[in-house]
Chains A and B, each alone.
Chain A
Amino acid sequence: MDDFEVRFSGSGGQGLILSAKFLSAALVAEGFSVAQSQSYEPVSRGGLSRSDLVVSKGQAAFPLSRGLDYLLILDGAAAQASNDLLGKDSLVMVDSELVPEPPKGAFRVLNLPFAETARKLGNKRVANIVALSALVACSGICKLETLEQIVRGKTPPKFATLNLEAFEAGCALGVQGA
């Protein structure tokens, strides 16, 4: 696949933009060009938040999302916000606990326990990493080893173990989904 679009959506403070940055870096390492855009409300914490990746070989003409190939939803408030951008080939991954009413349509929806898995690892804030590696394991949009290297390289030492545990747990969830 040469061109595809990914959206991370949820609420501010969930670490979605960080997940998007990790995935961007991994995709660039694999030779893609990425356009990453954010949308957020004018508050520092909370509020709807999303980060989109438009991935291509060479610079995309239009850098914003037109049709999502992959959509990750980590907050119920964001559940229906992206419906206009979904098509029959889209893959939607939602948190089974935080998104009680996922979008319905001709596309595939996976309910996975990102938040619950993170809690079991001891820190609910790593749900973003669990979801990220689940997405990559399920979709194969980049090599898991590439992403792992990025997560290792960009995580501060005191969170290294936790983030890598989250990465592994997410991979396991994603493989089940695939």
Chain B
Amino acid sequence: MANRVNLQGNQACALGAIAAGCTFYGGYPITPSSEVAEAMARELPKVGGTFIQMEDEIASMGAVVGASMGGVKAMTATSGPGFSLKQENLGYACGAEIPCVIVNVMRGGPSTGMPTRPAQGDVMQARWGTHGDHPIIVLTPASVSECYTETIRAFDLTEQLRVPVIVLIDEVIGHLVETVDLDDLTPQTTVSRKFADTPVEGFEPYAVTEDMIPPFPRPGDGYRSHTTGLTHMPNGFPTQNPAKAEAALTRTTDKLVLHKDLIEFCQLIECAGADLVIVAIGISARAAEQAVRDLRGQGVNVGLFRPLTLWPFPETTLKAAVQGAKAVLVPEMNQGQMVLEVERLMAGDLPVHALNKIDGEAITPSEIAAKVKEVL
């Protein structure tokens, strides 16, 4: 109870970034994420950091990757069409393994859609928005305190693994104000990328190390290395040699498999012995949590599986969580995206039901409860 304040989800993302050591923000205004930029414009000067509002969404992502190439922790935030525009330079960061954090506050789509209304229609875009096979991590806070803690975790992961991390929230969570105690939530230490410190002679910026995470050559430290979006060899220069190209691509995606335990994070509520497990993120998970409480009160055995790491999807944990269940329900504010991944994992062993809502309103606990009763 040391420092209880009412804080908005978007602002919590900004304060989380500052707590994680972010010193660069490149942004562009777009509803409903603009409060992240506004908070960073206020907070970054206080810590000697740099805020810049760029000329467009593409440039803001470029500036973020550029700043990170300079060795600093960097972030941007966006929504809807802005997230589409950021995909090109986000893909560059995936390919060249440049750490960065992107907060995407989901609004109704497609196109301009419903700018002030919530949706969860970017579940698949967050995973596959940029072209080509690529590694990416997506986190899904469902409360203001998680906006803070998951943004910190996003920085820790992106810095440690050299993989872009998306903090995926919906408009409800982004604009929600909740009572939080930041003192309780702030970690003692944060993670920075591993900078190269070996002799310059023979240094390879994308060398295959045991942990598959190449040390980052900071400009000015003498390595004078080359960074490119072209498929590259361990020495950083482009290649079209089939074996070398495949090895390079495979390492960046295998890296996430190797560090699965570090990346995956989920919350299980009453899953043990549940007849039905609900899988939900964001505001839909908050509704599901309430539905679980209400249904348990009525003697219905139901649990909630909440993947805070949405991508890579916590496969093993979900499979364990549904042991003994008769069905799975996936409520989401889209026409059925996360449900596809759950269906894939259930592989026909369990019936997977969907509850979809695309009218710009959040799914309610009673809608989930009604659906649970219908399918059980």
Contacts and interface: CB of A to CB of B under 8 A. Distances in A.
Contacts of B1: 31
Interface string B75-111: 0000000000000000000000000000000000000
B177 A61 contact: no
B183 to A, nearest CB: 15
Interface string A51-86: 000000001011110100000000000000000000
A21 B179 CA distance: 12
Interface stretch (A34-42, A94-102, A118-126, A169-177): A34-42
A66 B179 contact: no
A117 interface: no
B4 A28 contact: yes
A40 B114 CA distance: 12
Contact of A33 (B31, B179, B287): B179
B6 A24 contact: yes
A32 interface: yes
B172 interface: yes
B176 interface: yes
Contacts of B289: 61-62
Contacts of A42: 31, 115-116
Contacts of B290: 61-62, 66
B174 to A, nearest CB: 11
A35 B178 contact: yes
Nearest to B177: A36
Interface residues of A, number: 21
Contact of B178 (A38, A61, A63, A66): A63
Contacts, number: 67
Nearest to A53: B177
B366 interface: yes
Among B145, B178, B287, B293, find the residue whose CB has the most chain A CB atoms closer than 10 A. Answer: B178
Contacts of A130: none
Contacts of B143: 59, 63
Contacts of B331: none
B4, B172, B179, B365 — most chain A CB neighbours (10 Å): B179
A42 B290 CA distance: 30
B206 to A, nearest CB: 44
Given A36-B6, A36-B177, A61-B290, 11 more contacts: A33-B179, A34-B6, A35-B177, A37-B176, A40-B116, A59-B179, A61-B289, A62-B365, A63-B176, A64-B287, A64-B364
26 contacts: A24-B6, A24-B179, A28-B4, A28-B5, A28-B179, A33-B178, A34-B6, A35-B176, A35-B177, A36-B6, A36-B176, A37-B175, A37-B177, A42-B31, A59-B178, A61-B289, A61-B290, A62-B287, A62-B290, A63-B172, A63-B283, A63-B286, A64-B362, A64-B364, A66-B290, A66-B365
Q: Which 3 A-B pairs have the closest CB atoms?
A: A62-B290, A36-B177, A61-B290
Interface of A: 21, 24-25, 28, 31-38, 40-42, 59, 61-64, 66
